[in-house]
C-alpha cells in the first residue's frame, strides 16, 4: 500500500519525506505542480491541492496512510476536514495529523482554534490517527539573521514566559515513525497524541544571552512591540496572516508555551533520542552565516 504526504514541498513535508526515504514504503507527495516539485526519485509526485477536493479524492486512491498538513490559509479548517472525510471514504487506515502545541489553551488564535476543531473531528469520528502538536519551529529563527548580524538584536517578540521550541527535524522524524508504524500495522491502530517540543524553555533574556555567546558579540532583545511585529509581517504576506501571528505572539508573551518533563520524555521515547535543543541550531546557523 501507499503513504501520501501532503505539503510535500514545504518545510515540514520535506523533512517527513527525508525520514521516510529508504524505509521500504511506497510514498507519494501531493503537490500542485508535479513537474516542478523536485521530489526525490523514491517519491511519486501526485497532482493535487487541499483546496480542490476532487484532486484530493483522486490522489487518495490506493492510499493506506496519510500525512495531513493543512496550510495556514483562511479556509484551513475546511480543507483539513474535507480531506479527512475523503480519507475516510477512500478507506485510509492510518492518519498522522499535524496540529499545534497549546492549541486547546490559545482559543483566540485562529490557526490554533482551527487545528483544535480538526482534532475534535478526529476524536468524534473515531479516526485512526496520530495527532502531532509541534511548538514554535526553531528554524523559524533563521529569519533573524539580518537582525542578529546587522542590528545586534534578537527580533522575535517571544516575551519572558518561555517557549519550548522544536527542531523541524524532530517533527519530520516523529511523523515518519508514526506513518510507518501505522502503515506496517496493516489495520487501524488506536489514536495517539504527541506534543512535539524542545528541551529548553526559551525566553527573551535567554535568547539574547545565548546568541551573544554563540556570535561572540552583544545581542539585545528587540522588545515586545506586537503592533510593529504585525506591520513587519504585512510586508511579506496578507494582513489576516500578520494579525493571526500577532495574536499567537501575544499569547506567548502572556502565557508562554512550556512543555512538561513528561512531554519531553514521551517524545524522546518516540524518536529514540532526546529532542534537539536550540543551542546546536544556533551554533550551526552561526557557522553557516560566517562561511557565507
Whole-angstrom CA distances from 163 to 166, 240, 283 are 9, 24, 19
Does residue 99 sit within a domain? yes
Does residue 178 sit within a domain? yes
C-alpha cell at 151: 542590528
The pLDDT value recorded for residue 127 is 98
- Chain-centroid distance of CA 62 in Å reads 26
Instruction: List per-block mean pLDDT (blocks of 10 residues) for the chain, which spans 292 residues.
Output: 94 97 96 92 95 98 98 97 98 98 96 98 98 98 97 98 98 98 94 98 98 98 98 96 98 98 98 98 98 94
Q: DSSP state, 187? A: S
Does residue 189 sit within a domain? yes
- Give the chain's largest Cα–Cα span: 57
Collapsed DSSP state (helix, strand, coil) of residue 131: strand
Radius of gyration for the chain, computed over Cα atoms and rounded to the nearest angstrom: 19
* Upper half-sphere CA count for residue 239 (Cβ side, 13 Å): 0
Q: DSSP state, 149? A: I
Q: How many domains does the chain have?
A: 1
- Distance (Å, rounded) from C-alpha 148 to C-alpha 268? 31
Partners of 27 in the β-ladder: 3, 43
C-alpha cell at 193: 497524541
Task: For residue 58, give the CATH number of its domain.
Answer: 3.40.50.720
The pLDDT value recorded for residue 91 is 97
Does residue 127 sit within a domain? yes
The pLDDT value recorded for residue 155 is 97
Does residue 218 sit within a domain? no
Q: Cβ–Cβ contacts within 10 Å for residue 146, how many?
A: 9
Q: Which domain holds residue 64?
A: 2-135+167-196
The pLDDT value recorded for residue 270 is 98
Instruction: Using alpha carbons, select from 145, 288, 106, 280 the residue that is nearest to residue 199.
Output: 280
The pLDDT value recorded for residue 41 is 87
- Distance (Å, rounded) from C-alpha 137 to C-alpha 158? 13
C-alpha cell at 58: 483522486
The pLDDT value recorded for residue 81 is 98
Does residue 228 sit within a domain? no
Amino acid at each position: 500500500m501507499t503513504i501520501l504526504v501532503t505539503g510535500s514541498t514545504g518545510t515540514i513535508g520535506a523533512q517527513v519525506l527525508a525520514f521516510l526515504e529508504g524505509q521500504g514504503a511506497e510514498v507519494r507527495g501531493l503537490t500542485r505542480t508535479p513537474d516542478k516539485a523536485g521530489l526525490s526519485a523514491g517519491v511519486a509526485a501526485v497532482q493535487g491541492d487541499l483546496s480542490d477536493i476532487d484532486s484530493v479524492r483522486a490522489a487518495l486512491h490506493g492510499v493506506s496512510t496519510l500525512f495531513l498538513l493543512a496550510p495556514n490559509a483562511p479556509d484551513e479548517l475546511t480543507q483539513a476536514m474535507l480531506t479527512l472525510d475523503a480519507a475516510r471514504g477512500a478507506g485510509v487506515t492510518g492518519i498522522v495529523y499535524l496540529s499545534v502545541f497549546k492549541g486547546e489553551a490559545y482559543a483566540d488564535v485562529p490557526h490554533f482554534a482551527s487545528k483544535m476543531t480538526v482534532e475534535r473531528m478526529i476524536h468524534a469520528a473515531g479516526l485512526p490517527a496520530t495527532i502531532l502538536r509541534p511548538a514554535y519551529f526553531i528554524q523559524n529563527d533563521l529569519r533573524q539573521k539580518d537582525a542578529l548580524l546587522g542590528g545586534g538584536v534578537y527580533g522575535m517578540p517571544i516575551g519572558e514566559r518561555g517557549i519550548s521550541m522544536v527542531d523541524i527535524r524532530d517533527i519530520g522524524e516523529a511523523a515518519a515513525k508514526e506513518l510507518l508504524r501505522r502503515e506496517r500495522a496493516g489495520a487501524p491502530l488506536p489514536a495517539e497524541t504527541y506534543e512535539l517540543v524542545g528541551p529548553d524553555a526559551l525566553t527573551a533574556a535567554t535568547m539574547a544571552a545565548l546568541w551573544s555567546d554563540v556570535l561572540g558579540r552583544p545581542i539585545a532583545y528587540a522588545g515586545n512591540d506586537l503592533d510593529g511585529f504585525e506591520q513587519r509581517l504585512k510586508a511579506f504576506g496578507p494582513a489576516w496572516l500578520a494579525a493571526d501571528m500577532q495574536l499567537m505572539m501575544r499569547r506567548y508573551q502572556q502565557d508562554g508555551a512550556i512543555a512538561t518533563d513528561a512531554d519531553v520524555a514521551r517524545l524522546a521515547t518516540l524518536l529514540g533520542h532526546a529532542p534537539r535543543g536550540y543551542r546546536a541550531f544556533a551554533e550551526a546557523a552561526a557557522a553557516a552565516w560566517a562561511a557565507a
